[in-house]
Homo-oligomer: A and B are copies of this chain.
Amino acid sequence: MGKRSSGAPTLSDVAALAGVSPATASKALNGRGEVAAATRTRVLDAAEKLAFQPNALARSLVSGNSSTIGLLTSDSGGRFSIPVLLGAENALGDNQISVLLADARGDVIRERHYVRTLLAQQVAGLIVVGESSNRRASIGRDLAVPVVYAYAESTDPQDLSLLPDDRVGARMAVEHLHSVGRRKIAHITGPVDYRATRDRVTGLTEFLQEAGLPLAGREVRYGEWSQRWGRHAAEFVLNDDPDVDAIFCGSDQVAAGVTETLAARGVRVPDDIALVGFDNWEIFSSETSPPLTTVDMNLQRLGATAAQHLFAAIGGEKITGVQHLPCRLVIRDSSGGR
């Protein structure tokens, strides 16, 4: 047959079948230059018949710009990187752009290795996703391709970092509790060395002060991102402050634990205590009883925005600094808010 030795048909095969030169075939397929309508259809038919797929590698080699971007992540569960990836893929759309994913597992050595590998693959840009949104070392300044940090903040202010607006997100959560009549709001959250934890506390505190409310439950309960901690902390809160009428949790996972303790002690949600989580991690937020009102960080949108900025930067439009993207309140039954 008209095929070459190793499988896939090439542009030359198509050209030969259509009885034209490779150059003309290229123009016809890409809609560039002047090609007679008749020849164009001949070429298109030939390509169709051979199931021709242009070799993206060769194309990139000549054009200089590759059709892939790199996604460098460190969250081994994919908790953040997958939504970001989906968002990026969405934004990339039919641009024929692919995503090269590398999981550095929080290891700096491996990370450097992957950066090199990705660059060797001629990625057009890099998105760096953190295992948390904490500040982290920049992967470097002069990388030949633009870099966007998504759900991660680079220590280098010359980099562009995209973060969810945890502060305002938390504020929305507490505002909501306030709007449904709660006045004794406690806060159970994760480790204090997470930027997200602190920002959420800030948003909470700001609102309480403006509303002239004290924090219930004696103090902010810092702990771990786990159901276990949620269960224990809820005990502490209830013991120290039986009048609490709402608990805002720093994550849905923690809220799931809180729910268990409330159920065990016969406390009704939301009648006795209203509950709001954070993350909209559906395996928790949709599965507690009752389902959880929570704050969605819009990670997909974050990923989409990252991809857009990457394109802008490739086009020369470089932006630096930290951008906070809005969160979204998802109201379910646990807050009695609907």
Contact = CB atoms under 8 A, between A and B. Distances in A.
A8 interface: yes
A253 interface: yes
Interface string A3-28: 00011100000000000000000000
A98 B102 contact: yes
Given A57-B60, A67-B121, 7 more contacts: A6-B64, A53-B116, A54-B120, A61-B61, A100-B100, A228-B287, A257-B287
Contacts of A260: 260, 263, 289
A122 interface: yes
A53 B98 contact: no
Interface string A288-301: 11000000000000
A155 interface: no
A117 interface: yes
B120 A53 contact: yes
A121 B6 contact: no
A156 to B, nearest CB: 19
Contacts of A7: 144
20 contacts: A6-B64, A8-B144, A54-B120, A55-B122, A56-B121, A56-B122, A68-B100, A68-B121, A71-B101, A77-B82, A78-B82, A86-B103, A98-B118, A99-B101, A101-B101, A227-B288, A228-B289, A263-B263, A263-B264, A264-B264
Nearest to A225: B283
Given A89-B103, A98-B100, A264-B264, A121 B227 contact: no
Q: Which 7 A-B pairs have the closest CB atoms?
A: A78-B78, A78-B82, A101-B101, A227-B287, A7-B144, A56-B120, A57-B57
Interface string A258-284: 001001100000000000000000010
A66 interface: yes
B100 A53 contact: no
A122 B117 CA distance: 17
A1 interface: no
Main secondary structure of the interface of A (DSSP, over half): mixed
A275 to B, nearest CB: 15
A278 to B, nearest CB: 15
A320 interface: no
A158 interface: no
Contacts of A308: none
A99 B99 CA distance: 9
A251 to B, nearest CB: 11
Nearest to A61: B57
**Chain B CB within 10 Å, residue with most, of A6, A117, A119, A253:** A117
Nearest to A81: B78
Nearest to A259: B260
A309 interface: no
B121 A98 contact: yes
Given A86-B76, A263-B260, A122 B57 contact: yes
